[in-house]
Amino acid sequence: MSSRLEVRLDAECRSHLEEIARERGAPISEVVRSLIDDAYEQLDRSRRLMAAERLASYEVDVPEDPQELSRILSDAHSSRIVY
């Protein structure tokens, strides 16, 4: 079920919103929902990018030899006790 929200806009903002609605051939309410969805997707993308950048910034020693890396990973995972 939808909930109602009242938003007060100045004349310029209202005019911009109406122009967007005309261009899209959509009601203002649909445009507002779409703009909210777009803003949220951008925020989510930004958060994911920041998380990826943090992960990429970690300095990790990685052995040159792939077999050595495989052994290290196997040892690390086999030493865990799973209940």
Residue ranges per structural domain of the chain? 11-78
pLDDT of residue 80: 61
Length of the chain: 83
Q: How far is CA 52 from CA 37, 39, 46, 49, 62, in A?
A: 22, 20, 10, 5, 19
In a 10 Å sphere around its CB, with 0-12 CB exposed, 13-18 middle and 19+ buried, how is residue 81 labelled? exposed
Q: What is the pLDDT of residues 3-51, one digit of tens each?
A: 999 999 999 999 999 999 999 999 999 999 999 999 999 999 999 999 9
Is the model's pLDDT at 61 over the cut of 70? Answer: yes
pLDDT of residue 82: 57
Q: Give the closest residue to 37 by CA, choosing from 14, 29, 55.
A: 29
pLDDT of residue 81: 58
User: Alpha carbon 8 to chain centroid distance?
Assistant: 28
